[in-house]
Amino acid sequence: MLVGLSINAIDNPDTEFRRVGGKLFNKETKFILRIALLSNFKWIARKLGLKLIPSDITKFFMGVVKDTVNYRLENNIQRNDVLDTLMKIRDETQENEGKLTIGEIGAQCFVFFIGGFETSSSTGTFVLYNLVKYPEVQEKLRNEIRTILARHDNKITYEAMQEMKYLQMVVDETLRMYPPVFQALRQAARDYKVEKDNFIIPKDILVSIPIYAIHHDPEYYPEPDKFDPDRFNDENKAQRHPMAFLPFGHGPRNCIGFRFGLMQTKIALIQLLLNFRVYASEKTPDPIKFDPDATPLTSITDMWLKFEKL
């Protein structure tokens, strides 16, 4: 789906891709601290030679993309994936129109990789946790999946997933309760007057958008700690301010890889719910306590669940 490589991370947990992804988000890399320093104290970050992404991770991923691009060009290989789409855009762009470089192609692929690595697994984990606590939702979702797949020759296709409205509602409600990132940082491009409070946000000021707090504001979501997928049916969404739901940001600078990550999450959930019924175990945390040093939002303890084969 991304660069056309088969990683087999489940059978081979020591694969280089998994090591690189794990290193990016582990505590030793101090990803949150890097973001804070680069956003608020750029001069300190420059003095320390600090980069958001460690050099060895950048070198590895750019090397993979460069080698894959060269191999495809030399062997006239075309695939239906993100990398091939970016290569076609580059080929169709004139030199004076800003043709994509290999570095820029690699950077875009890397963003997709980040968006689909830890966020997909953490979102899927939180969905399963909610389904364990609300078994009636789990059964309703499983019935929807079976009914819709029966109309699509029991194949998990993009078109079939688009029909799974309740699946989308369940995922959205989980993203509301457990957004991958608890805040978004944006820099004001110009002076902006907040009319309601007669307050001016100065140009170049860094603004923190408290996503987690917005998602748990009872003004928008009554009983915010309750899991209720119906919050995201068409009627309820139409009555709510569109900026009250920001799991991946919003506008032209939202997360470019969020659709890719969501698709991975949905495919995994469909496969699991078709084959297993999920229960709580004696080790299932209740309530969840978050790891203050982790990004994306993660439970500080392991998520233990029981799976019963259907």
Helix 135-150 and helix 102-133, axial crossing angle in degrees, nearest 10? 120
Q: How far apart are CA 168 and CA 163, in angstroms?
A: 9
Rg for the chain, CA atoms, rounded: 21
Closest listed residue to residue 149, CA positions, set 131, 132, 167, 135? 167
Q: How far apart are CA 27 and CA 244, in angstroms?
A: 30
Q: How far apart are CA 173 and CA 167, in angstroms?
A: 10
Three-point CA angle 287, 293, 297, nearest 5°: 50
Tokens of 22: 């794990």
Tokens of 86: 């970016």
Which residue matches tokens 């309750």? 226
Cβ atoms of residues 87 and 105 within 8 Å: yes
Three-point CA angle 76, 78, 82, nearest 5°: 135
Residue 255 labelled as part of a binding site: yes
Q: How far apart are CA 306 and CA 283, in angstroms?
A: 10
Measure the CA dihedral 32/1/246/164, to 10°.
-140
Cβ atoms of residues 194 and 201 within 8 Å: yes
Q: How far apart are CA 245 and CA 175, in angstroms?
A: 9
State how far the alpha carbon of 57 is from the alpha carbons of 24, 107, 258, 300, in Å: 8, 12, 21, 25
Q: How far apart are CA 295 and CA 300, in angstroms?
A: 11
Q: Which residues are annotated as a binding site for heme?
A: 255
Q: Which residues are annotated as a binding site?
A: 255
